[in-house]
Each structure stands twice: as structure tokens, then as C-alpha cells.
Amino acid sequence: MKKAGVFGADLVAKVLKEMAPKHANNIMRATVQSVAGEAKKRIKKRLPKDFSGDLRKSLKHKRRQALPMFPVSDVYVERGVFYWRFLEHGTKATDKHGSTPAVHFVRNTEFEMSIELPKIGKKLFLKKLEAANKRALKKRVA
């Protein structure tokens, strides 16, 4: 599993410093969860069309318990769909059935997102921040 670095660290640190710690942690947690959701969507787009049913449905993203300032969300495939590894890495020809070529739907998505992570993270962070500000404003008015 590859870990992603902090995106737009200066912007994030500046905005979160000005907020209450509880709200800052909630926004960071929601942003990390959104990035995991974006990764799941991109992986689904890259899946081979032949294996769309169970494999598409079994892709999930979930928050994992971690320290408040270091939120973690994982993208995973449920246990019942073990064959995703054979599609991702391919198989060798051992008998008359032949081999399966590798289709790197996870690896390619990971590489693509590692390049775009600052842009994706900033966009999702600002979206979550705006939503949190709207909720706070709504509470003040009511």
C-alpha cells in the first residue's frame, strides 16, 4: 500500500490554524475520505469491461481509525472477489488454458493520482471547507 503526502500543505495549515481544532479535524477527515472516493471512482473506470459486475460492486472505501491530525482512508476490494489480483498482475501460462495479460487498473490509477494529488486534494479540501462554512452560517442564522 502506498501512502500519499500532504497536498497544498501551506494552504491547509493556514486555514486549519484559523479554525477550531474539532472543525479542522473533521474537515481533514472528510477531505481524505473524498480523495479515497475519487480513487475508487477512477479505479472503477479503468476496470476491464468483461469483469464489470462483482468486481465493480466490491470496490469500497472506508475510514480507518488513526490519530486526529493524520486521518486515513483505504480503498479495498472485498474478500469474495479474489480474482482482482489475477487481472491486475496477470498470470503465467502453466497448461493448455494459456495466460492472462496484466491489466494494471489499480497501479495506473495510483500513478495518475500521485501526480494529480495536490490539485485533487486542494479542490476537495476547498469543497469540504465551503460546505462546513455554509453549515456554520446556517446554524448562526437559525
Read off the pLDDT of residues 113-140 as tens digits, 9 standing for 90 and up: 999 998 999 999 999 989 988 998 898 8
CB 55 within 8 A of CB 24: no
Residue predicted with more confidence, 41 or 5: 41
pLDDT tens column, 70-91? 889 999 999 888 889 988 998 8
Q: Which of the 8 DSSP states describes residue 98?
A: -
Mean pLDDT of all residues belonging to the chain = 85
pTM for this one?
Answer: 0.81
- Region 86-108 average pLDDT: 86
Burial of 31 (0-12, 13-18, 19+ CB in 10 A): buried
